[in-house]
Amino acid sequence: MARLSRALQMLALNFYLALDQLRADPRFVFLTAFGVVIGTAVLVAAIGVAAMAQERLRLIKEEIGTQVLFLAAGTSDVADFHRKKGRLIDEQALSVLGTTSGRFTLQATYLRGSVMLDDQGVQRDASVLGFDPDDFSELAMALASGRLASVDDCYLDVASVPLTSRRTLRLSGSRCVLGGTFRQAGFLRSILNGESGSVVVTSFDKAYAVMGGQTALPTLAITLRLGSEADAFPALAEVGQFMQLRYPNLQFSLDWPGSRLIPLNQLLDQVRLVAVLVGALIMLISTVAMVNAMLAQIGQRRREFGIRLAIGATPQDLILQTLFEVLGIFGGGMLIGFGIAISIMYLWCQFSGWAFTLSPSLFLLSAGVTLVCALCSGLYPALKAAAIQPIKAMQDI
C-alpha cells in the first residue's frame, strides 16, 4: 500500500511539474498545439460530415426505393392491348423467374397513364395509377391512417375511405375523393417518386376502362422487390433477357433507382478519403514538429533535469514529466480542434439542411489519434531526457 501511495504521489508530482512548465511557456504551447488543432479539426470534421452525408444518402435510398426494380412495358398495338386487357406481361412467369433465382419477388402490378381531370369545370392533367385489388386496398388503408405524404394532390377512387378532408371531383364520370398529399414507406413511396401534380389512384380495371380508349395507351408497370441491393444488376440482366426472349416485339424499360446514386456514393468516398488523408498528413507533420520542438526544449532544460536527478528523481520521473507535457499539448489541441470541427459540422448542416448528428465515436476517434500521436512524438524526447547524466548536466550551471 505504501509503495502504491508513493507511486501515485510521484505521478501527481510529475503531472504538476509538466503543467507548471506548460503554463510558464505559453508561446511554445501555442505554436506546437496549432498544428494539432488544425489536424484534429480537419480529420474530425471530414469524418463527421462524411458520416452525415452517408446517413443522408441512406435516407435518399429509402426515398427513391433502391430495393425496388421497375419494369415498364408499353405497346402501340391497340388490338393486342385490348385482347390482353392491359396485361401485356405474364406476371406468373416473371414471378417464377424471381423465385427460381432468389433475387427478386413480384411486388405490385399497375397501369400508369394520364387523363384530363375535371375539377369543378377546370380541366387539369392528372397521372393515373391503376392497382390490383390487394395493392389498392393497402393504399386505401395507408391513406386512411394518414401514413402517406408528399405528392401535391391525391385522388383516391374509393368513397368508403374515412378521410378528414373530402372533396368531390370527376374522373370521366366517376366520383373521386381527395385524399390529401401522400408518400408511404415501401413500394408505394418508390412508385410515386417522381410524380408531381395531381395523382389519381384507382383500381386496375377502372384505369383500364378510363385510359384504354385513349390514343396514348397506358403503360403496364411491375415493381420487383430485390432481395438486396447486391442483386440489382444480376436481376436487371435476368429480367432483361426474359423480356427480350419472351416479348421481342414489346417495348419495355428497366430502371433501378439505386444506379443514380452510385456516382454520388463513389464521389463521397473519394472526398472522405482525401479529407482524412489531409487531416492525417497535418497530424503527422504536427507529430514530427513536436519531436523537434521537445528535443530543443530538452537541450535547453538540461540543467533543470540534472538538478532533479541530483536531488533524487529517477529517469522514469523525467520520462513521465516529458510525456505529460506532450499529452497536455496534444490533449488541449485535440479539445479545441474537436470544438472547431463540431462548429464546422453544425454550420454545414445549417446551410445544407441536413440533420445534425454527433456520434460519440468521433470523440473516441480524435482522442485515440491524439494519444497515438502524443506517444509517438513524446517517447523519443522523453528517453533522451532520461538519458541525461546528472554530473555533465550540473557542469552547465
Spatial CA neighbour of 92 closest among 106, 108, 104, 112: 106
Question: What is the SS3 assignment for 396?
Answer: coil
Buried b (16+ CB within 10 A) or exposed e, 68-93: bbbbbbbbeeeeebeeeebebbeeee
At 99-144, the pLDDT tens digits run 888 898 887 788 888 877 655 566 667 777 787 766 665 555 554 5
Spatial CA neighbour of 85 closest among 125, 130, 139, 116: 130
Predicted TM-score (pTM) of the model is 0.59
At 143-191, the pLDDT tens digits run 454 444 333 344 444 433 333 333 333 343 333 333 333 333 344 555 5
* Count of residues in the chain: 397
At 48-69, the pLDDT tens digits run 887 887 777 777 666 566 677 8
Return the domain boundaries, the chain.
11-60+264-394, 67-255
The pLDDT value given to residue 237: 92
Q: Please report the DSSP string for 336-394 in residue order.
A: HHHHHHHHHHHHHHHHH-PPP---HHHHHHHHHHHHHHHHHHHHHHHHHHHT--HHHHH
Average pLDDT score, the chain: 75
The pLDDT value given to residue 13: 74
Grid coordinates representing 395 are 557542469
The pLDDT value given to residue 238: 92
Spatial separation of the C-alpha atoms in residues 116 and 125, rounded to whole Å: 5
Parts of the chain with a pLDDT under 70: 1-2, 60-66, 117-124, 133-199, 391, 393-397
Sign of the C-alpha dihedral computed for residues 260, 266, 269 and 270 taken in this order:
negative
Q: Which amino acid is at 137?
A: S
